[in-house]
Amino acid sequence: ANGWPGLIEAYRAYLPVSDQTPVVTLHEGNTPLISVPAIASEIGKNVKVFVKYDGLNPTGSFKDRGMTMAISKAKEAGSAAVICASTGNTSAAAAAYAQRGGLKPVVLIPDGYVAMGKLAQALLYGAKVVAIQGNFDQALEIVRAMSETYPITLVNSLNPYRLEGQKTAAFEVVDVLGDAPDWLCIPVGNAGNITAYWRGFKAYFQENRASHLPKMMGFQAAGAAPLVLGTRVYEPETLATAIRIGNPANEALALQVREESQGEFNAVTDAEILAAYRMLAAQEGIFCEPASAASVAGLLKVKDRVPANATVVCVLTGNGLKDPGTAMEQDGQSFHQGVPAQMDAIAEIIGIGS
Ligand code: F0G
């Protein structure tokens, strides 16, 4: 067939795969880089802002990039089952790719803190879903131990193939812009994705496909900001449940990214996240999930420090449809219910023709 083959075929030379690797793909990757002029105009200074809309991947998040690699390699190694802890998106991706590859997926999630769309996906794809009375950090500790005790492959970002797949998002950004951006703004939870992007930018820089490296700007939710605070958060809280994480597994790598890129970690409040979430939808036509909007909220928070004429990319990690509940709770909507099925009544409501 023609068309985009999925990221393993597209970037095979950069990935640890061989002719022996059975590629499990849903044709993930190749997501759009979209200009967001309303956000750019908040900053001014002739700054260009784009979003990398990774919510358009097959299961609706960037996790598909890592999962096509992790599942293909697990299958190559003869593994029969995979396990992960998840705030929702990893579980959806693991379930989809494992089932497609003929492996059995098991997912541990924090009971009551996973957005409905993500849970619906994992269930329908057919994963064994275990909701624990604990948070993501506790779930991750358990699945790490289980993968060391039982014959089941861990597909959290501690699995080295996950970040290899995810680094392709940086390749796509550079391929479209023709160079690296000056800043890369990204939400940070377990700190895998920021590490993966940095790897991708460095690989392209080393091959002279980019003239420079971006400053990596990681944003955490204020109630779940261990990398900003410099200490573990035992009871992380944020409405951006995707990044409700207090003990990031990739902390050491993320600190290295900050240092090497002369980047920063900053916190954004839930109110700032929601403001960016609504702005993306209502002014740019882009529906992302709350955690994803942390990248834009963060950019707006530190806008005074963006250099003039800079090119900035904000990563939108997940699709807004993942979390319809949060969308429905926002005010400022114009929803008229129980209206008579008559033209006059409708014309009056929309204020037309009178
Ligand atoms: N944005 C979304 C929508 C996510 O689902 C996640 C992580 C992140 C950002 C943060 O990425 O962990 O690489 O720093 N979600 C994981 C999950 C934890 O289980 O789906 P990170």
Q: By the 8 A CB rule, do 84 and 155 touch? A: yes
| Centre of ligand 1 from the C-alpha of residue 136, in Å | 11
Q: What percentage of residues in the chain have a pLDDT greater than 90?
A: 97
- Quick one: average pLDDT of 308-314? 99
Q: Given the CA of residue 89, which atom of ligand 1 is nearest to it?
A: 20
Through-space distance between the first and last CA atoms of the chain, rounded to whole angstroms: 55
| Centre of ligand 1 from the C-alpha of residue 236, in Å | 14
Give residue 183's pLDDT.
99
Q: Which amino acid, residue 256?
A: Q
Whole-model pTM over 0.95? yes
Give residue 164's pLDDT.
98
Q: Given the CA of residue 88, which atom of ligand 1 is nearest to it?
A: 20
Chain mean pLDDT for the chain: 97
Count how many Cα atoms sit within 13 Å of the Cα of residue 188 in the half-sphere of its side chain.
35
Q: Given the CA of residue 191, which atom of ligand 1 is nearest to it?
A: 14
Residue nearest to atom 5 of ligand 1 (CA): 242
| Pocket-testing residue among 61, 130, 244, ligand 1, by greatest number of atoms within 8 A of Cβ | 61
How many angstroms separate the CA atoms of 236 and 220, rounded? 11
Predicted confidence (pLDDT) at residue 332 exceeds the cutoff of 80:
no
Predicted confidence (pLDDT) at residue 1 exceeds the cutoff of 70:
no
- Quick one: average pLDDT of 177-181? 98
| CB distance 292 to ligand 1 below 6 Å | yes
Give residue 353's pLDDT.
80
Q: By the 8 A CB rule, do 115 and 90 touch? A: no
Give residue 145's pLDDT.
98
How many angstroms separate the CA atoms of 108 and 93, rounded? 13
How many angstroms separate the CA atoms of 330 and 152, rounded? 41
| CB distance 190 to ligand 1 below 6 Å | yes
**Per-residue pLDDT tens for 186-215?**
999 999 999 999 999 999 999 999 999 999
Per-position DSSP letters for 54-112, written without gaps between them = GGGSTTSBTHHHHHHHHHHHHHHTT--EEEEE-SSHHHHHHHHHHHHHT-EEEEEEETT
**Per-residue pLDDT tens for 280-301?**
999 999 999 999 999 999 999 9
Q: By the 8 A CB rule, do 259 and 213 touch? A: no
Predicted confidence (pLDDT) at residue 354 exceeds the cutoff of 70:
no
| CB distance 117 to ligand 1 below 6 Å | no
| CB distance 87 to ligand 1 below 6 Å | yes
Give residue 70's pLDDT.
98
- Quick one: average pLDDT of 104-117? 98
Q: By the 8 A CB rule, do 127 and 91 touch? A: yes
- Which residues line the annotated binding site for pyridoxal 5'-phosphate? 89, 189-193, 317
Cα–Cα distances in angstroms (integers) from residue 157 to residues 19, 25, 39, in the given order: 24, 18, 31
Q: What percentage of residues in the chain have a pLDDT greater than 70?
A: 99
| Centre of ligand 1 from the C-alpha of residue 327, in Å | 19
Quickly tell me which residue has 């680094």 as its tokens.
167
How many angstroms separate the CA atoms of 242 and 232, rounded? 17
Count how many Cα atoms sit within 13 Å of the Cα of residue 228 in the half-sphere of its side chain.
19
Lowest mean pLDDT among 13-27, 150-164, 249-263, 325-339: 325-339
| Centre of ligand 1 from the C-alpha of residue 89, in Å | 7
**Phi, psi angles (nearest 5°) of residue 115:** -60, 150
| Centre of ligand 1 from the C-alpha of residue 110, in Å | 14
